Amino acid sequence: MNFFSYAFASLFFSALCSAIASIILKYNDKLWFVSSITNVTLAKIPAVGFYGIGFILYSIGLREMDVSRAYPIMVSFAVIQLMILGYFFGETMTLKMLFGALLVVIGIFIINTSR
């Protein structure tokens, strides 16, 4: 399976939805479309929506890939995306974190090529 298949695309966007949902939950006061909602419970609805879309995309990815490969790949995508999104929200990026992200990318490659 190549890196440009529907399975990888759906896993990538599933992870992106999960990462966006996490950012909404963490930084809801910095996001214009959530910060205006005064009810704390209602402010979480966009995050739940993104998690739901991510779940659907993950299930699409599972059609073409075994769960033992799909889940680590999807989570790895989410880790990298959250590091990037977190940086834009002022979170610190250390050399250790960057090295860890590199190991994640190497792990994705190893999981995908080992059969």
pLDDT of the residue at 111 = 76
Whether residue 90 lies inside any domain: the answer is yes
Would the pLDDT of 92 be above 70?
Answer: yes
Counted domains in the chain: 1
Amino acid at 39: N
Q: Determine the pLDDT at residue 51.
A: 97
Residue 31 lies in a domain: yes
17 in a domain, yes or no?
A: yes
Q: Which domain holds residue 55?
A: 6-113
The pLDDT of residue 39 is: 80
Residue listed under structure tokens 């995908």: 112
Instruction: Determine, yes or no, domain membership for 104.
Output: yes
Question: What is the pLDDT, as a whole number, of residue 37?
Answer: 80
Residue 17 near residue 51, CB atoms below 8 Å: yes
Residue 19 belongs to a domain:
yes
**Contact in structure between 7 and 67 (CB atoms under 8 Å):** no
Residue that the structure tokens 């990888």 belong to: 8
Would you say residue 72 lies in a domain? yes
Q: What is the pLDDT of residue 89?
A: 92
Q: Which pLDDT score is estimated for 50?
A: 97
Q: Could you count the other beta carbons within 10 Å of the beta carbon of residue 19?
A: 22
End-to-end CA distance of the chain: 10
- Is 1 inside any structural domain? no
- Kindly tell me if the per-residue pLDDT of 32 is higher than 80: no
